[in-house]
A = this chain, B = another copy of it.
Amino acid sequence: MAETTIKDIARLCGCSVSTVSRALNNHPDINPETRQKIMQVIRETGFVPNNSAINLKKTDSKAVALLVKGITNPFFNTMIKIMEHRIEENHYSTILRHVEADEEEVQVALELVKERRLRGIVFLGGNFVHDDAMLRQLKVPFVFSTIGALQGEPSWYANVAVDDVAESEKMVDYLIEQGHRSIAIIGDNLLTKSVGQLRFEGYRRAIAAHGLKLNPDLIEEAPQGESERYTIENGYRMAWKLIHSGAEMTAIFCTADVFAIGACRAAADAGLAIPKDISIVGYDGISTGDFYIPRLTTVRQPVEQMAEATITLLFDMISKKRQPQTILMPAELVIRESSGCRK
């Protein structure tokens, strides 16, 4: 029971494989009747061409890939949707690929480029430190999106993100202005190069700028080793630990909305009213945060504009109209119900 191929169809139709191929690909130079008959047979047999063979032949594809690391983070959903849409408008097709936590995204990109003859890549999520040598192997334009970037530290590759340090600082500034003095932080990867670190840095700067001092007891990091760390559960665990540690605090800055949601639940379980007893704020601006009770105060990343900017930049690079560059977008401090004055 070998798979049926274009040859079998040809035999069944009493014609050659090229004719079948022509029918399959809507070539003009084919007799309409022949085409009809061939398509009929194809429908009857349920023949499906082998993509590997097609891709192997291809030298060019008008396709770009979206490589997403951390698919469960709902923050990416909207961005993916918009990007797919914009890519389609450019008459390209999208290849959406999820990268497991233990996979190297650049390696995946390298393979995919060869396999599918991609024209460009967008990296969504993941760390922003990569093996430079590997990255240089990538012969097609690529853009890191929402991965974070240090302002004033230009890199040779394209990057679209918000200024995580500055935006986090703004958020913590706001909390301090509300009278909070003991502000905890919960997050992931606070100390290794990642968006987590950038957001932690913003927290530190705000604390320092106001002459407060950093209290190690108010810092909680997501447990390492788990495959998916940006989860509500982790937010719950970290906040719970913090709240029951005996340390005093009137606010918690969470480096992601998913953490903030877990933190709110932990606070509620500890009998704390939000925001009366404790203010809890997030980062990202995921839509769930706007439907949570209380609605989450957060740093809203401009997902639509970031998605647009990413795709525009990518296609500009593809058509050689622009060089790789870092584009920093302004985020928005969204004050909602989960934060307020220190009582």
Which A residues are closer than 8 A to B by beta carbons? 1, 3, 46, 48-53, 55-56, 71-72, 74, 77, 81, 96, 98, 107, 110-111, 114-116, 133-134, 137, 139, 227-228, 232-233, 236, 261-262, 264-265, 268, 287-288, 291-294
Which one of A72, A74, A133, A293 has the greatest number of beta carbons of chain B within 10 Å?
Answer: A293
What is the minimal beta-carbon distance from A8 to any residue of chain B, in angstroms? 13
Complex CA–CA separation, A236 to B288 (angstroms): 11
- Cross-chain contact of A291 among B48, B55, B114, B262 (Cβ < 8 A): B262
Using CB atoms, name the residue of chain B closest to A71: B71
- Cross-chain contact of A114 among B51, B287, B293, B294 (Cβ < 8 A): B51
Chain B residues with CB below 8 A from A294, complex form? 293
Complex CA–CA separation, A96 to B71 (angstroms): 12
Chain B residues with CB below 8 A from A293, complex form? 264-265, 268, 292-294
| A291 adjacent to B236 (CB under 8 Å) | yes
Q: Which 10 A-B pairs have the closest CB atoms?
A: A51-B115, A52-B55, A46-B137, A265-B291, A52-B56, A52-B52, A48-B110, A50-B114, A293-B293, A232-B291
Complex CA–CA separation, A303 to B225 (angstroms): 23
Complex CA–CA separation, A184 to B52 (angstroms): 50
- 12 more CB-based (< 8 A) A-B contacts, given A50-B114, A233-B291, A292-B292: A3-B114, A46-B133, A46-B134, A48-B110, A48-B111, A48-B114, A51-B111, A51-B114, A52-B56, A52-B114, A52-B116, A265-B292
Complex CA–CA separation, A71 to B287 (angstroms): 16
What is the minimal beta-carbon distance from A236 to any residue of chain B, in angstroms? 6
Complex CA–CA separation, A180 to B224 (angstroms): 47
| B288 adjacent to A288 (CB under 8 Å) | yes
Main secondary structure of the interface of A (DSSP, over half): helix
- Pairs across A and B, CB under 8 Å, 23 listed: A3-B114, A46-B110, A46-B133, A46-B137, A48-B111, A48-B137, A51-B114, A51-B115, A52-B52, A52-B53, A81-B227, A96-B98, A98-B98, A232-B287, A232-B288, A233-B287, A261-B288, A262-B291, A264-B293, A265-B293, A268-B293, A292-B292, A292-B293
Complex CA–CA separation, A288 to B286 (angstroms): 14
Using CB atoms, name the residue of chain B closest to A290: B265
Using CB atoms, name the residue of chain B closest to A274: B293
Complex CA–CA separation, A3 to B134 (angstroms): 15
What is the minimal beta-carbon distance from A84 to any residue of chain B, in angstroms? 8
Chain B residues with CB below 8 A from A228, complex form? 81
What is the minimal beta-carbon distance from A318 to any residue of chain B, in angstroms? 15
Complex CA–CA separation, A134 to B96 (angstroms): 25
What is the minimal beta-carbon distance from A181 to any residue of chain B, in angstroms? 26
Chain B residues with CB below 8 A from A48, complex form? 107, 110-111, 114, 137
Chain B residues with CB below 8 A from A52, complex form? 51-53, 55-56, 114-116
What is the minimal beta-carbon distance from A31 to any residue of chain B, in angstroms? 28
